[in-house]
Structure 1
Amino acid sequence: MGSSAFCKELGELRKERAVANSHFAAIDGCDVHWIDEGYANGLPAVLLLSAQWLGASHFDAFAERLGERTRVVRLDLPGHGLSGAFGDEDYCAARYASLVRAFVEHRGLGSHVLVGQSHSGIPACLLAAESTGGMAGLVLATSSGMPRDRAVPAGSPQVALHRTGSMNWYADRLRGLFKRPHSPTEFGAIAAAARDYGELPGREAESALRLRHFEPDLLARTLPRVAVPALVLWSEASTYLPAAMAEAIAALLPDCRGRTVIHDTGHLLLADAPRDAADLILAFLETLA
């Protein structure tokens, strides 16, 4: 995957886009980036996993709201944001779960709620089925991994067929994943970061590998084994995953504490409606304290 060129350009992008609370470390065979902020206040910490197209930096408003009450850690999974690649090119959900497990141990995170969104909901669910490492709860936000008759996953060959890598190309893709109004300046910043992350050498190949390993029913098979309380949040107008899936997921969870379809939201829920989602998660955290 051209690791030397990848790392060189990744290093340059890190200088441009890392923030004051950014951290980097080699964990479980991968050079990862995360943002750590907020403070412990009697509630479990929140560990947010990145989603397709987006990196940790896309969730500032979400983290700011949660950070008023608890510690918030935003982890860029391999193939996202400012994290590097899996050296073994294994991008299956179990490999992602292994990385997150090692990250929690590395950071000594303690009691925490794991938030998975879009494709990262599947490794989050796998870890919740283990209920190890201090996990106190699970939040699934418009998570993939349920059988569906019609939908084209983001990053699939059909979506990427006419990929140009231009700002307009990324903006067009993202407009279909957001529903609420965002100012041109705000949306431009979202698209610019997505383009920077998506155009890293090897990043497109990583997306293809992740899609190749995708199991469309893995979440459904894992949900009955989840051993912690869970919250289900869903986008009303997801491009890929209909809102009816939220009810199906909630029915399979042994201890579902809530299911909410958030009005007027696109697939990238936690970036589209960050404060609404954060308030629902805070209420969930209070039931676990």
Structure 2
Amino acid sequence: MSVWSEPQSGSLFADVDGLRVHYKRAGHGPTVVLLHGSASSLHHFEGVAALLSASYDVIRPDLPGWGLTGARADRNYRVPTYAATVARFLEVLGVRSCAVVGNSLGGNIAWNLALDRPERVSALVLVNATGYPEKSLPAAMRLGRNPLVRPLLRRAMPRRMIERNLRAAVGPDPGISEEKMAQMVERSYQLMGRPGNRSAFVDFVNTDQPDRSAEIARIAAPTLVLRSASIDGQHFARDIPAAQELVHPGGGHLLPEEDAQWVGGSIAAFLDSHSTSTQPHQGGRQ
């Protein structure tokens, strides 16, 4: 049995939109949902979840197309569709309202959820989130759009390609040891090898996403923006009314894995300051 590509201790599943969504849940208190980025999995927030679960009910799903949840039969990987699936996932779990944290694609999904289902989002944390049209694409995504390469990636995704992509995504001072990087590469390689996941990646990167950046100013949830100094092209702190922003000086795109202590501590301090809007009666576990 593979270490990463099979259910592990604490694995849970929920039936949502014809998908068997894999997730983990730990802790007690107000609910916090952690949404990972593209080509990733719930493991991305492992360290952050460990910190937050001391005071919060922390839920981490594998988003459709990734991890143990796997591909969508309808191949619909538009961000608003992801947001709708997350909303129904929360309904299945009986969570009426919660804080939503997202990194990269997960951040994009989080702010779309805050727009489409504001009653579900009591607070919003965007970690190097995406959603503005000027955001540049990683090399692996550009390859996935190449009509000559696409069929090859559906059949195989070389380990060296995954490693190059991960190394390019961390910052100049990532705080990631070679041992941890090797673990990240192995985890991503195994999960991408699960049936349907490679094709889901290709389908995702070739999906035309709607540009909703003009609507971002309508977000009403209290918002914290966590950004690496090396990340530009995103303007959430400028556009979301009263948003707070913290900038990590040395991190890259994968901040939750690069510096889980900084990310987790920043989230906890922000949520503690908005505790009246993230109380357990709105869906958390006592």
TM-score normalized by structure 1?
A: 0.84
User: SS in structure 1 opposite 2:270?
Assistant: helix
- Cα distance in structure 1, aligned partners of 2:6 and 2:47: 17
Superposition pairs of residues 215-254 of structure 1, within 5 angstroms:
215=209, 217-218=211-212, 220-238=213-231, 242=232, 245=234, 248-254=235-241
Letter aligned with residue 249 of structure 1: F
Partner of 1:156: 141
Root-mean-square deviation (CA, aligned residues, Å) is: 2.3
> Is 1:144 aligned to 2:130, yes or no?
yes
> Is 1:52 aligned to 2:45, yes or no?
no
Letter aligned with residue 38 of structure 1: G
- Cα distance in structure 1, aligned partners of 2:41 and 2:74: 22
The CA deviation at 1:13 is: 5.7
The CA deviation at 1:280 is: 0.7
Judge conservation of contact 2:5–2:67 (CA < 8 Å) in 1: no
Deviation per CA, 1:167-191: give whole Å up to 9, x if none: 3332222111122132222211111
Deviation per CA, 1:121-166: give whole Å up to 9, x if none: 2221121123445421111111111131x72246423378596634
- Cα distance in structure 1, aligned partners of 2:27 and 2:108: 26
**Unaligned runs of at least 5 residues, structure 2:** 276-286
Judge conservation of contact 1:235–1:261 (CA < 8 Å) in 2: yes
Higher RCO (CA 8 Å, separation ≥ 6 residues): 2
User: SS in structure 2 opposite 1:63?
Assistant: helix
Letter aligned with residue 110 of structure 2: A
> Is 1:275 aligned to 2:261, yes or no?
yes
Judge conservation of contact 2:39–2:201 (CA < 8 Å) in 1: no
The CA deviation at 1:195 is: 0.5
**Unaligned runs of at least 5 residues, structure 1:** 1-11
Partner of 2:283: none
- Cα distance in structure 1, aligned partners of 2:121 and 2:98: 5
- Cα distance in structure 1, aligned partners of 2:182 and 2:105: 24
Partner of 1:204: 198
Judge conservation of contact 1:32–1:76 (CA < 8 Å) in 2: yes
Judge conservation of contact 1:104–1:133 (CA < 8 Å) in 2: no
Letter aligned with residue 25 of structure 1: A
Judge conservation of contact 2:144–2:206 (CA < 8 Å) in 1: no
- Cα distance in structure 2, aligned partners of 1:135 and 1:205: 31
TM-score normalized by structure 2?
A: 0.84
Superposition pairs of residues 1-289 of structure 1, within 5 angstroms:
17-40=6-29, 44-148=30-134, 151-153=136-138, 155-158=140-143, 165-179=157-171, 180-215=174-209, 217-218=211-212, 220-238=213-231, 242=232, 245=234, 248-256=235-243, 258-289=244-275
